[in-house]
Chains A and B, each alone.
Chain A
């Protein structure tokens, strides 16, 4: 039996997927969810093989929800209109349905996934390798770079980028220092350097990215390097090349 979950904030949009799925007795809808929080919980609980995911949803959108899942299931996106996401879908070959979609189009998407699944030698890893590339592309879109969604102690936290003081590399994670504490996210420094607004965030060091709104003072430190004092009182190292970048952004 294939487990599926439908995540969409509009009841009628869920209804039509349910209706189309009636032609597939082997697929069972484990749960319907109306937002990303619910979706996340349901995915952790049911470990579905396939999810139908809307992008525009309250609180956290479909992409942000996927980011929080360690091993995302196969995803068929459903969206009404999102130029940026559609471009991302096309370049990363994840199937997507543009609303409104008809039964034929729906069948094509489901059949494609069923074929892929049948061809897959190792059914234990249903995770689509393209999902990660897709998320990285989408994360760079302007609407995505205004906040960071993290999971902390089983809860979801949405951090507006203005609240971020600085980012610090920490093994496989990035520590996000904010006014409300420190959060961890399973991403690379390069990812944040790419997605955050370069006019507001500068990578001053291999392991540090800082919010220039926070800068109060830059002092010379050891040979060729500086130390930046932030409003929060934290001190962030600035390398030689980082100092050049920082001066450029601050217009010095």
Chain B
């Protein structure tokens, strides 16, 4: 429910002052028409008090019932009937009370009722229109707020889901490798447990809101690639390079990892030769530009048009974060090299 403007302190003050000024003006006007000061004051105070009540009523009424566009006649009807009631009330109160004090008052009132009605109708009408505008904009604002809240919530949920796709294959196969190492090379098994723990810890603690420095993210990827190297032995080599000034760049957490996972999936899991995965990071204007290159087997997996392979979730995430869909590009080089380039606005 929208708040009534009269429930807000400064508006109430303005409302009260408005009626005081109006009473003063009416008193002056009435003395100019020949009424004595006391009668003029009583007349204008009573009239404006009733009028103020009527306006308060209008404002209050519209708070509970806001006519839609095709029902604006309701406002007209309300204003007209209220104005009539106000003038009648003034007549019933003022004429018996003031008629005895100043003899010409009854005649004066019946001569001036039309002007009084016009004035009352004008004020009540204005109040009604202002109230409609006020409540409409309040309602609009509330709707907007609700909409953005809903959007924010669903976006957060979606981002959370996109980040949570830790491949179970990776985890169980790594554990299997550790199990194999325990028998033959216990020292290395211990080291791998350490690496895997660091990797999982990093995976758990990252919050969407906190962007991480590129240096940290690259270290994390190195950890991931090191684990894969233990699993696949000499088959995998990884190159990570970056220029010095790119290290301070920041990016959303867990954005690069799925890209590298994708590179591993098509470059390592689906090929039989030795592979090199190359990650390059540089600063370019207002962007952090990171490219990931992996070989793939054109016979078993062909990159589709557009984003290719399984990058649509990253594309979606970039869109949710930046409202842009041109930040992720992919290309194929020398028939079997797949290159993914992601640009992060700084």
Q: Contact size class for B? A: 20 to 34
Known: A19-B180, A19-B184, A59-B297. A10 touches B172 (CB 8 A): no
Judge if A250 is at the interface, Cβ distance under 8 Å: no
Minimum CB–CB distance for A12 against chain B, Å: 4
Q: Is the CB of A158 within 8 A of B299?
A: yes
Q: Is the CB of A13 within 8 A of B232?
A: no
Q: Is the CB of A10 within 8 A of B168?
A: no
Q: Is the CB of A13 within 8 A of B180?
A: yes
Q: Which residues of B contact A147 (CB under 8 A)?
A: 300
CB interface residues, B 95-153, toward A, < 8 Å: none
Interface of B: prevailing SS = helix
Q: Is the CB of B176 within 8 A of A100?
A: yes
Q: Is the CB of B299 within 8 A of A12?
A: no
CB interface residues, B 260-300, toward A, < 8 Å: 269-272, 297, 299-300
Which of B169, B179, B271 sits near A81, CB closer than 8 Å? Answer: B169
Q: Is the CB of B173 within 8 A of A80?
A: yes
* Cα(A81)–Cα(B297), bound, Å: 23
Minimum CB–CB distance for B198 against chain A, Å: 19
Judge if B178 is at the interface, Cβ distance under 8 Å: yes
Q: Is the CB of B269 within 8 A of A99?
A: no
Judge if B177 is at the interface, Cβ distance under 8 Å: yes
CB interface residues, A 90-141, toward B, < 8 Å: 98-102
CB interface residues, B 49-77, toward A, < 8 Å: none
Q: Which residues of A contact B30 (CB under 8 A)?
A: none
Judge if A34 is at the interface, Cβ distance under 8 Å: yes
Judge if B233 is at the interface, Cβ distance under 8 Å: yes
Minimum CB–CB distance for B35 against chain A, Å: 86
Minimum CB–CB distance for B308 against chain A, Å: 15
Question: A46-61 interface mask toward B, CB cutoff 8 Å, 1 = contact, 0 = none?
Answer: 0000000000101110
Minimum CB–CB distance for B213 against chain A, Å: 33
Q: Which residues of B contact A9 (CB under 8 A)?
A: 232, 269, 272
Closest to A10 in B: B231
Q: Is the CB of B172 within 8 A of A100?
A: yes
Q: Which 5 A-B pairs have the closest CB atoms?
A: A80-B172, A99-B176, A16-B180, A12-B180, A100-B176
Closest to A54 in B: B173
Judge if A160 is at the interface, Cβ distance under 8 Å: yes
Judge if A11 is at the interface, Cβ distance under 8 Å: yes
Which of A15, A60, A99, A158 sits near B184, CB closer than 8 Å? Answer: A15
Closest to B269 in A: A58
Which of B173, B230, B233, B270 sits near A99, CB closer than 8 Å? Answer: B173
Judge if A67 is at the interface, Cβ distance under 8 Å: no
Which of A13, A34, A35 sits near B176, CB closer than 8 Å? Answer: A13
Q: Which residues of B contact A100 (CB under 8 A)?
A: 172, 175-176, 178-179
Minimum CB–CB distance for A144 against chain B, Å: 13
Q: Which residues of B contact A158 (CB under 8 A)?
A: 299-300
Q: Is the CB of A35 within 8 A of B272?
A: yes
CB interface residues, A 57-86, toward B, < 8 Å: 58-60, 80-81
Judge if B181 is at the interface, Cβ distance under 8 Å: yes
Q: Which residues of B contact A37 (CB under 8 A)?
A: 272
Q: Is the CB of A11 within 8 A of B233?
A: yes
Q: Which residues of B contact A10 (CB under 8 A)?
A: 173, 176-177, 231-232
Q: Is the CB of A58 within 8 A of B270?
A: yes
Q: Which residues of A contact B233 (CB under 8 A)?
A: 11-12
Q: Which residues of B contact A12 (CB under 8 A)?
A: 176-177, 180-181, 230-231, 233
Which of B176, B183, B184, B300 sits near A59, CB closer than 8 Å? Answer: B300
Q: Which residues of A contact B169 (CB under 8 A)?
A: 56, 80-81
Q: Is the CB of A58 within 8 A of B176?
A: no
Q: Is the CB of B270 within 8 A of A80?
A: no
* Cα(A108)–Cα(B178), bound, Å: 21
Minimum CB–CB distance for B302 against chain A, Å: 7
Minimum CB–CB distance for B173 against chain A, Å: 5
Q: Is the CB of A99 within 8 A of B272?
A: no
Minimum CB–CB distance for A184 against chain B, Å: 19
CB interface residues, B 146-171, toward A, < 8 Å: 168-169
Q: Which residues of B contact A81 (CB under 8 A)?
A: 168-169, 172
Which of A15, A35, A60, A80 sits near B168, CB closer than 8 Å? Answer: A80
Q: Is the CB of A99 within 8 A of B183?
A: no
* Cα(A102)–Cα(B233), bound, Å: 22
* Cα(A147)–Cα(B299), bound, Å: 11
Minimum CB–CB distance for B120 against chain A, Å: 67
* Cα(A37)–Cα(B300), bound, Å: 13
Q: Which residues of A contact B181 (CB under 8 A)?
A: 12
Minimum CB–CB distance for B226 against chain A, Å: 14
Known: A10-B173, A11-B233, A80-B172. A59 touches B180 (CB 8 A): no
Q: Which residues of A contact B173 (CB under 8 A)?
A: 10, 13, 80, 99
Minimum CB–CB distance for A11 against chain B, Å: 5
Q: Is the CB of A56 within 8 A of B175?
A: no
Minimum CB–CB distance for B340 against chain A, Å: 20
Closest to A162 in B: B302
* Cα(A35)–Cα(B232), bound, Å: 13
Interface centre among A37, A102, A158 (most CB of B within 10 A): A158
CB interface residues, A 6-23, toward B, < 8 Å: 9-13, 15-16, 19
